[in-house]
Amino acid sequence: MAPSGSAGVAPESVIAPSGAAVAPEEEPMRAQSERAVGYTLAVELFPDTHTVRGAGTIVWRNTSRIATDKLYVHLYLNAFKSERTVFWRVPVSGFRGDPLDGPGHIDVERFFVRELERDVWPEKPTTPGDADDATDIEVPLPRPVEPGESLTIDMAWTSHLPTVTLRTGYYGSFHLVAQWFPKLARLSPDGTWAHFPFHRLSEFYADYGAYDVTVITPEPFVVGAVGSLVTEAAADEVPQIVDLPKVRETSPGGPRTRRRFLAEDVHDFAFTAWDGFRALEETTPDGVKLRCLFPPGYEAAARAELDAVRFGLGYFGRAFGRYPYRTLTIVHPPWGAAEAGGMEYPTLITTGGTWRRGALVETRELEIVTLHELAHQWFHGLIGSDEHRWPFLDEGLTSYAEADACEALWPDASAAEGLGFRLGLPALYRAGALEATRNGRVSAPATAFVSGRDYGALVYARSAATLRTLANVYGEDTVRRAVGRYARRYRFAHPTPDDFFGAMREGLGAEAEQALRVALTEPSSVDYVAEEVMSEPRPDGAPGFVGHALVRRRGEIRFPVDVLLIDRDGGAKTVRWDARLAADHVAYEGAAPLVAAVIDPEHRVLLDEDLGNNAVKLGGSRFAWRVLDLGAFAGGVAARGILP
Amino acid sequence: MRGGAKWGRASAVHERPWAVGVYLGFAALVGLAWSSPLAAAVGGVTGAYPRGDAEVFDAGGVMLVEAARRMRTQMAAIGTAWSAITLLAVPLGVVVLAFAIALLATPGRARPVWAFARAVRSFWTLTVIGLVAVLADVVLVALILLAGGALVRETWPVPPARDVARFGLFGCAILAVLAVGVLHDLARAATVAGPSRAYVSLRAALRTARRSAGRTAWAYTWRSLLGLAAVVAAAWLGARIGHRSTAALVASTFVHQLGVALLGWMRLSWLAQAVTLIRPSIARPEIAPPEDAPPERMASENVQPSSGQAAAAQAVIAQPAITQPAAETPETAQRDGAQPAAEAPHASPASPHPAPRPSNEPLA
């Protein structure tokens, strides 16, 4: 569908490094984050026991305006400790997350604050007020830390990985080591801590900072991690960054490899290690080193993912600001570890999917997942919104960006193509969004959604369908620029929904922003109805007919739409209806009687609840003859197989 | 050596317009009946649009997904309609198929009314054979998938090797189903063209498959491939024509139905060949040759049966014969016993059922 007023995107049949033509934005971007925290860690993975032992230092600075007398530390891995944790006990159906075959947890063995000269780790570290959960630990300090003051925390811990579930864990010798170390929560400028127990539907939120992480693994293991690999050598040849006494004591024999990764202006660190990985590497024209790690036999999938990433870096870079890092690692988990797939970390994404392509119907699942996770490099990676409190700011915008990129690659066929049909992602997002129209607010916190289905339908699908509707109505390029303005303005920052709506208002105007705000912040809907058409000879006796189409808009959301009026001779004219009124007469004047009317004939308003009532016509067949033809053909062929 | 029994070969499909008409017409009707509830449901979503259900085929698939979404609540009703149509079509299909086989199995003239009576008489036997075939399908497929699945899990636990092995497994299952289908068709042919008893027909089918495995497989395979090619071509051409206008819709429908018809034609051709193949394994010509069948042609299309075939024929020779009415072929009954020996001088005296010609098989 080519919306009016859209500059559009140059259609491409193949993935090109340059991406499609997205107009550059002038919005200034931060060159770097405030780097409120720095982690210097050294860790060793023991694949046989699936444990990671680590030690290191956190340097944290109070960037708020208020002194604080405590810290909050997230121990996300404790979510997998038992079935009594918040993560498992909150009933959330319809969402990913395989049951645990083996639990996981994290033991903090040292948490020594140099400036305070004591180990401040609490004796019974549990989530405040919840003895069964230990993912959100309050650490009281003996004295307040003043604004601008820094703390240096020496710590040691052991992470016991669970069987792979929801982004982290092991499967055989494959390990995705994520949410695995003691991680400080974020202190907001007003002095409140953004902390939360790890919930099934929630992702993460933290300060930007610098990570210097040394990872030791047995020699055969291939490792991919956040950031850039700066050294790689046998474990004994490189001096350690921090002391690892317990690691030394417990390390089994055999050669080991030590790799040091550096990442700046990121808010998380994860790595993967597997002795079965194959690797493909290439460098983009912009100098970004791409590395795809994948299981044997998945070369074609890896190449497709690299192609998608190469395209996406260009496309998203033009739309939302250039990708600032030097590396990007793509991890395709092996079979059996699909739960590790479909996740984003700064400069590292995990994908997933099959190794083969459909014969009759070509689906884009590999590219869709890859582009989705890549878009997260901006929405949450570079624009560090609070994923727990406003998940739509990352997942919703990412879904919009993913569909936008896929539509640029395969116009009107971004989801699948074959057997004479072309299916676009917007159609699927529309269907998903309408599953939960009034079930809740899109802008709600992750914990407010009562099921994974609602969460998926509202946060992912409805956000994407709403933004796509705006693009259809006001122009794809206009909306892309507005989102790009938000993305550039809040790079390396922590924006709120008001920041997003403000940027959209600047880019699209008050009317569009109001529709967006109603669609995302209220349980709301819209349904356009064409109710009747009528016409009669002109009363003044002149040749021709006058009449009208009675049209309605039901619901709170308002988008202006086209109304197509068709006369008896097949003549058609399009009238713009602003839809300000709930019911209106669209006037008709023509040479022949008016026989039909269609509201939004190009189906631009994806949030329209019922497209079946968008049209009205006088007379004529209502039977689906084309469907009958195809059905009779399929039935006739099937009869050969089913009937005697 | 070549034999010369007149009843050795089935009629060619193009010589049996009633068989073609009823068989293809029935398939088209069933396809139409299956399609109608779906078309009505889609019409309920798109009917008010001036372009009708053309909206469903637009690129992007917004209305396609909308139709699917809206139809979810109607799927129970549509499924019930489909089930009812299928329940009605299956037994009717047995009669239609038997009718076509009866006509194909009769050389020379054959009256549709007689063929219909023959079809009705074969109904229960064909039903029993059909159930046996379904049972065989289920058992074979279950064995292949369960045993093969266990082997695949053990040997190739992870993709892509696992997926490739599974493809192979599904291929084996499909081949097994096709093989059962071939035997089923042979048994059907034996039932309609020979003694109407399930056990005898199944035994004859197995015997034929064992003795003429290569010819049977070839006869089935090339016709099936041609039929499949016709369907693929129709689908491709239909997609090329599209549905943009009424004329295109008519043309597309014609092409699609032509594809279905060619598929049916190939199946009829195979069934005619199945009759020819099964004849040496059944007791006697249950459907007698008409008096006006050309003796020269018949003589050239048969060969002497092997001693095994002769013995097999002897084994089932006691089955009762059902012949076309005397009014139609007044001399049939008298000639049945003597004719093979008289008209096939090279045939073994021990066997009145010479095997068909092994090569130069014409398209029936």
Spatial contact of B270 and B220, defined as CB atoms under 8 Å apart: yes
**Which amino acid makes up residue A85?**
T
Q: What does the pLDDT average to over A9-38?
A: 62
Query: Which residue in B42, B49, B60 is closest to A627 by CB distance?
Result: B42
Pair A328, A305 in one domain: yes
Range of the domain at A436: 391-521
- Residue A456 DSSP one-character state: I
Check pLDDT > 80 for residue B306.
no
Q: Which residues of B touch A354 (CB under 8 A)?
A: 159, 163
Does B288 fall in a domain?
Answer: no
Q: Which of A184-188, B71-75, B249-253, B289-293 has the lowest mean pLDDT?
A: B289-293
Beta strands in A367-474 (DSSP E): 416-418, 421-423
Does A20 fall in a domain?
Answer: no
Q: Which of A375, A405, A437 is the last residue of a domain?
A: A375
Does A8 fall in a domain?
Answer: no
With pLDDT > 90 as the criterion, what percentage of chain B qualifies? 65
Does B186 fall in a domain?
Answer: no
Pair A74, A211 in one domain: yes
Tokens of A201: 């539907």
Query: Which residue in A356, A434, A615 is closest to B163 by CB distance?
Result: A356
Residue A70: which of A131, A156, A137 has the closest Cα?
A137
Over the Cα atoms of chain B, what is R_g? 24
Query: Which residue in B46, B64, B260 is closest to A421 by CB distance?
Result: B64
> Per-residue pLDDT tens for A88-100?
998 888 887 777 7
Q: Which residues of B touch A1 (CB under 8 A)?
A: 60, 62
pLDDT of residue A253: 65
The per-type count for chain B, helices as H runs and strands as E runs, is 11, 2
Does B75 fall in a domain?
Answer: yes
Residue with tokens 């195809």: A630
Residue B353: which of B295, B294, B292, B312 has the closest Cα?
B312
Q: Which of A192-201, A464-473, B320-329 has the lowest mean pLDDT?
A: B320-329
Parallel, antiparallel or unpaired: strands A105-113 and A150-160: antiparallel
Taken in order A356, A360, A362, A365, the sign of the CA dihedral is negative
Does B96 fall in a domain?
Answer: yes
pLDDT of residue B314: 40
> Per-residue pLDDT tens for A467-503?
999 999 999 999 999 999 999 999 999 999 999 999 9
pLDDT of residue A561: 98
Q: What does the pLDDT average to over A540-544?
A: 93
**Which amino acid makes up residue B119?**
A
Q: What does the pLDDT average to over A287-312?
A: 97
pLDDT of residue B288: 52
Residues 6+ apart with CB under 8 A from A27: A484, A485, A488, A489
Does A26 fall in a domain?
Answer: no
> Per-residue pLDDT tens for A318-375?
999 999 999 999 999 999 999 999 999 999 999 998 888 777 889 999 999 999 999 9
pLDDT of residue A244: 55
Q: Which of A345, A375, A405 is the last residue of a domain?
A: A375
Query: Which residue in B66, B130, B160 is closest to A297 by CB distance?
Result: B160
pLDDT of residue B351: 37
CA distances from B275 to A393, A453, B119 (A): 71, 58, 15
Parallel, antiparallel or unpaired: strands A361-363 and A271-274: unpaired
Nearest CA in chain A to B46: A612
Range of the domain at B58: 12-110
What is the tally of structural domains in chain A?
A: 3
Check pLDDT > 50 for residue B252.
yes
Q: Which residues of B touch A592 (CB under 8 A)?
A: none
Q: What does the pLDDT average to over A512-529?
A: 97
Pair A500, A537 in one domain: no
Nearest CA in chain A to B160: A297
How many residues does the structure list for chain A?
Answer: 644
Query: Is A631's CB within 8 Å of B47's CB?
Result: no
Check pLDDT > 70 for residue A316.
yes
CA distance to partner chain B, nearest, from residue A3 (Å) = 13
Query: Is A427's CB within 8 Å of B43's CB?
Result: no
Does B140 fall in a domain?
Answer: no
The residue that leads in pLDDT, B330 or A31, is: A31
Query: Is residue B12 packed enough to be buried (19+ CB in 10 Å), middle (13-18) or exposed (0-12)?
Result: middle
Check pLDDT > 60 for residue A171.
yes
Q: What does the pLDDT average to over B101-107?
A: 89
Query: Is B260's CB within 8 Å of A356's CB?
Result: no
CA distance to partner chain B, nearest, from residue A18 (Å) = 25
Residue with tokens 């013995």: B311
- Name the band, by pLDDT with cuts 50, 70 and 90, for residue A27: confident
Q: What does the pLDDT average to over A275-301?
A: 96
Q: What does the pLDDT average to over A558-578?
A: 97
Query: Is A626's CB within 8 Å of B238's CB?
Result: no
- Segment 333-372 of chain A within 8 Å of chain B by CB: 334-336, 354-356
Does A2 fall in a domain?
Answer: no
Check pLDDT > 50 for residue B295.
no
| Inter-axis angle of helices B161-193 and B213-241, nearest 10 | 110
Pair A424, A572 in one domain: no
Residue A110: which of A141, A155, A166, A50 has the closest Cα?
A155
Q: Which residues of B touch A624 (CB under 8 A)?
A: 38-43, 46-47, 52-53, 56
Q: What does the pLDDT average to over B121-135?
A: 95
Does A24 fall in a domain?
Answer: no
Query: Is A643's CB within 8 Å of B38's CB?
Result: no
- Residue B60 DSSP one-character state: B
The residue that leads in pLDDT, A238 or B303, is: A238
Pair A551, A498 in one domain: no
Q: Which residues of A touch B220 (CB under 8 A)?
A: none
pLDDT of residue A433: 97
User: What is the distance between the alpha carbons of residues B75 and B41, in angstroms, rounded to a whole number?
Assistant: 9
Pair A120, A257 in one domain: yes
CA distances from B108 to A332, B2, B272, B287, B325 (A): 68, 21, 14, 11, 14
Q: What does the pLDDT average to over B253-277?
A: 95
With residues binned 3-state (H G I as helix, E B as strand, rest as coil), the percentages for chain B, rounded to 5, are 75, 0, 25
Pair A516, A541 in one domain: no
Long-range Cβ contacts of B115-122 (<8 Å, 24+ apart): B115/B18, B115/B19, B118/B192, B118/B287, B118/B322, B119/B95, B119/B192, B120/B95, B121/B196, B121/B322, B122/B98, B122/B191, B122/B192, B122/B196
Parallel, antiparallel or unpaired: strands A327-331 and A289-294: parallel
Query: Is B160's CB within 8 Å of A298's CB?
Result: yes
Query: Is residue A276 packed enough to be buried (19+ CB in 10 Å), middle (13-18) or exposed (0-12)?
Result: middle
Check pLDDT > 60 for residue A578.
yes
Q: Which helix (H) or strand (E) holds A155?
A: strand A150-160
Nearest CA in chain A to B258: A633
- Name the band, by pLDDT with cuts 50, 70 and 90, for residue B282: confident
Intra-chain end-to-end CA distance of chain A, in Å: 45
Query: Is A631's CB within 8 Å of B64's CB?
Result: no
Q: What does the pLDDT average to over B269-287?
A: 81
User: What is the distance between the alpha carbons of residues A528 and A554, in angstroms, rounded to a whole number?
Assistant: 6
Does B251 fall in a domain?
Answer: no
User: What is the distance between the alpha carbons of residues B337 and B340, in angstroms, rounded to a whole number?
Assistant: 7
Pair A73, A199 in one domain: yes
> Per-residue pLDDT tens for B169-226?
999 999 999 999 999 999 999 999 887 789 999 999 999 999 999 999 999 999 999 9
Q: Which of A9-23, A168-182, B33-47 has the lowest mean pLDDT?
A: A9-23
Q: What pTM, to 2 d.p., does this model score?
A: 0.86
Mean pLDDT of chain B: 79
Pair A582, A512 in one domain: no
Phi, psi (rounded to 5 degrees) for B200 = -65, -40
Asked if A596 reaches chain B (Cβ–Cβ under 8 Å), the answer is yes
Return the top range by mean pLDDT from A409-418, A630-639, B13-22. A409-418
The per-type count for chain A, helices as H runs and strands as E runs, is 12, 32
Query: Is B234's CB within 8 Å of A633's CB?
Result: yes
CA distances from A490 to A24, A30, A318, B185 (A): 16, 8, 16, 72
Does B292 fall in a domain?
Answer: no
User: What is the distance between the alpha carbons of residues B231 and B257, in angstroms, rounded to a whole number?
Assistant: 9
Residue with tokens 């269907």: A431
pLDDT of residue A358: 78
Does A18 fall in a domain?
Answer: no
- Give the CATH number of the domain where residue A543 resides: 2.60.40.10
Spatial contact of A233 and A112, defined as CB atoms under 8 Å apart: no
Pair A273, A367 in one domain: yes
User: What is the distance between the alpha carbons of residues A261 and A263, in angstroms, rounded to a whole number?
Assistant: 7
- Name the band, by pLDDT with cuts 50, 70 and 90, for residue B244: confident
User: What is the distance between the alpha carbons of residues B131 and B197, in angstroms, rounded to a whole number?
Assistant: 14
Q: Which residues of A touch B48 (CB under 8 A)?
A: 530, 612-613, 615-617, 622
Query: Is A636's CB within 8 Å of B38's CB?
Result: no
User: What is the distance between the alpha carbons of residues B277 and B269, in angstroms, rounded to a whole number?
Assistant: 12
What is the tally of structural domains in chain B?
A: 1
Pair A590, A496 in one domain: no
Size of interface A-B (CB pairs under 8 A): 220
User: What is the distance between the alpha carbons of residues B287 and A218, in angstroms, rounded to a whole number?
Assistant: 80
pLDDT of residue A237: 58
- Name the band, by pLDDT with cuts 50, 70 and 90, for residue B325: very low
Pair A90, A225 in one domain: yes
CA distance to partner chain A, nearest, from residue B249 (Å) = 7
Spatial contact of A577 and A538, defined as CB atoms under 8 Å apart: no
Nearest CA in chain A to B71: A612
CA distance to partner chain A, nearest, from residue B57 (Å) = 7
Does B357 fall in a domain?
Answer: no
Nearest CA in chain A to B54: A626
Q: Which of A521, A552, A577 is the last residue of a domain?
A: A521
